[in-house]
Structures are given as C-alpha cells and as structure tokens.
Structure 1
Amino acid sequence: MKRRVLTTLAIIGLVTAPLPALAGEASPSMLADACAACHGTDGKSPGAIPSIQGKKAGYIEQQLKAFKTDQQQGTVMNRIAKGYTDQEIAAIAKHLGSK
C-alpha cells in the first residue's frame, strides 16, 4: 500500500512538473524562426516585405512593440506582435538585430 502511494505521488510529480517548452520558454532562435517565413532566413526579404537584415536590435524591438500596441500599422505584423510578450520581443530583437 505504501509503495503504491509513493509510486502514485512520483507519477503525479512527473506529469505536473513544468517543461520549459510547454511552459512557454522558447529560445530566441525558435521565436525568431517565425520571422523567416516573410523576412527571409537571413532577414533579407526577397520581395515587397521590408528586410530586417542589418537593422539594429533597438530598432527591431521598437518596431515590434509599435506593431503590438497598434502605433504602427501593418498587414499582419500587428496580429503577430500581439502574440509575443515584451520579453520575447526583446529576445527576438537581440537575436535578429545587429550590434
């Protein structure tokens, strides 16, 4: 009986333990992967979408926050930016931006 209780408690602990990927702790690289679909893998857009290659991290962060708060208008960027926390936006900007 005691063994069964301990086993059950151990299983509950494993099942409820937070996993970084499930808890929303994505790496900056993983967060920035979504940008590549439109802005290109190297940040150099092949078409009408503005390139982010060579932009300063502070500028990227400023623009993403402006999209998030609807101070900057875009076609889809407002909706995309709203999906990120300010901390995630800062991480994306740092990852993508030049020094």
Structure 2
Amino acid sequence: MILASALLAATAAGAQTVDRQARAWAATCAACHGTGGQSQGGIPPIGRDAQLVYRALLEFKNNQRPAATVMHQHTKGYTDDELKRIAAYFATASNNK
C-alpha cells in the first residue's frame, strides 16, 4: 500500500514536470500562434488534435511541407519526442479554452 502511494506520487510529480517542460518549449510558439495556439490574423492556429499537430511538426522538420515559413527552422531544434510533447501541450491548452 505504501509502495503504491509512493509510486503514484512520483508519477504525478513526473507528469507535472513533463507539463512544465512542454509548456516552456511551447512558449517559443506563442509569438506567432498565441499562448493557447489560438492565433489571430493570417497565422494558422494550432489545432486541438495532438496527432495532427505532431504530424505537421514532423513534416516541417523533415522538409515535407512548403518552406514558406520559419517552421522548418523551429522544428529542427527539437527531437521527435519533444515535438510530440509540444503537440500534446497545445491539444490540452486548446481544449481548456
């Protein structure tokens, strides 16, 4: 019982750390896409579906989308796992608005 409680507490603490790190990475997106991914003007908002956002980020990173934006440079600075966590953060942020 004590071991299970300790494991749950450690998992919860780890989840908070992951959340904070993803939020810090996502802060670089805010200048163009807004803090919750709901940009204004001509810049596309970041969608609510984490898988779609992740796929788009990978396409930018791998030069599979037109190079008309700075997204290619931004995405190359992150690992695939980090991009997945950023996509998950924006999906959560979008769903909470």
TM-score (norm 1): 0.68
- Per-residue deviation, 1:45: 1.1
C-alpha separation between the residues in 1 aligned to 2:55 and 2:49?
10
Aligned partner (choices 82, 90, 97) of residue 96 of structure 1: 90
Between the two proteins, the alignment pairs up a number of residues equal to 73
Aligned partner (choices 45, 50, 57) of residue 51 of structure 1: 45
Q: Residue in 2 aligned with 1:37?
A: 31
Is the aligned partner of 1:67 residue 2:57? no
Please tell me the residue identity of whatever aligns with 1:77: M
- Per-residue deviation, 1:80: 0.6
- Ranked by relative contact order (alpha carbons within 8 Å, sequence separation 6 or more), the top structure is 2
Gaps of 5+ in 1: 1-25
- Per-residue deviation, 1:48: 0.4
- The Cα offsets for residues 20-65 of structure 1, whole Å up to 9 and x where unpaired, read as xxxxxx711101111111001121111100011x420000100000
Normalized per residue, the structure richer in helix is 2
Please tell me the residue identity of whatever aligns with 1:60: V
Who wins on radius of gyration, i.e. which is larger?
1
C-alpha separation between the residues in 1 aligned to 2:36 and 2:75?
20
C-alpha separation between the residues in 2 aligned to 1:57 and 1:47?
22
Could you list the structure 1 runs, at least 4 aligned residues long, displaced by more than 4 angstroms after superposition. none
TM-score (norm 2): 0.69
Q: Percent identity?
A: 42
